[in-house]
Amino acid sequence: MRELAISSATMSELDCPELHSISVLVVDDDADSREMLALVLERSGARVFMAESASEAVIVFQAERPSLLLLDLGLPDEDGFRLLHRLRALVPHGRKIPAIALTGYGSPEDREQTRAAGFQAHLVKPVALSEMLEVVVRVLRSK
């Protein structure tokens, strides 16, 4: 895992009370990205589960039932669009678990495609940590 240079002042700013009662499933095949996102979310108060593939994500999702999904769209075994559909199909009574797309593409058309697929937000990699936290909080508030 790549070490993050985060000062103690920055760490205190990361504490986010809105994240203290949530759990997040971070799915990304890039280990550095996955670890960085998880570290920031954990330091902000969330409980984080990680998966590096769609198949692993399904197993973790069934075991942990997270309250938010952060899904890379470019996974090796299945794209994030199909994975979102599969995970939501596992939720009883059609409860719509909030999801944020992670991708290297950020055109207006790409953003519209993720919204049409049912994602509540779209983050372009490399993700600015402060932006990621703002988006997570916004998505949770709109839930």
Count of C-beta atoms within a 10 Å radius of residue 96: 10
**Each residue's pLDDT tens digit, 81-93:** 999 999 999 998 7
pLDDT score for 2? 34
What are the per-10-residue average pLDDT scores of the chain (143 residues)? 37 72 96 96 96 98 96 95 96 85 95 96 94 95 85
Tally helices (H) and strands (E) across the chain.
6, 5
Extents of the domains making up the chain = 17-141
Fold topology of 17-141:
Rossmann fold (3.40.50)
